[in-house]
Amino acid sequence: MIAKSFAAIFGGCIVSISVMLNLNYLLPFNVDTRLLIGLLVAFPLWVAAMVWSYGSDGGLQAWKRHAYVLVISLSINSYFIVGSL
């Protein structure tokens, strides 16, 4: 259970931050509106990632679940970061 807790807390936080960075690049609003949306959506997204982590069979499966989402999200983030240079 402690392995799933670490995956839920740290992995879920990293996934939440990465997905919110994707939304920050994708939303066509002003910067202040995007930041407000990010603040309002980040915590429920983190909670959903925690629930998804606790729904796994073990700690390794929880980390794998977060890693799959994180790889996709980081590839989208890198596309936007490299594209903006």
> How does pLDDT run across 46-58, given as a tens digit for each residue?
999 999 999 999 9
Please, which residues have CB within 8 angstroms of residue 36's CB and are 6 or more apart in sequence? none
Give a three-class secondary structure readout of 41-83: HHHHHHHHHHHHHHCCCCHHHHHHHHHHHHHHHHHHHHHHHHH
Q: pTM to 2 decimals?
A: 0.86
Q: For residue 13, what pLDDT is reported?
A: 94
Element containing residue 19 per DSSP (H, E): helix 12-26
Domain count, the chain: 1
User: Which pLDDT tens digit goes with each residue over 27-84?
Assistant: 899 999 999 998 999 999 999 999 999 999 999 999 999 999 999 999 999 998 898 7
Please, which residues have CB within 8 angstroms of residue 38's CB and are 6 or more apart in sequence? 20, 23, 24
Write out the residue range of the structural domain in which residue 73 sits: 2-83
Q: For residue 7, what pLDDT is reported?
A: 94
Query: Is the pLDDT at 85 greater than 80, yes or no?
Result: no
Amino acid at 26: L
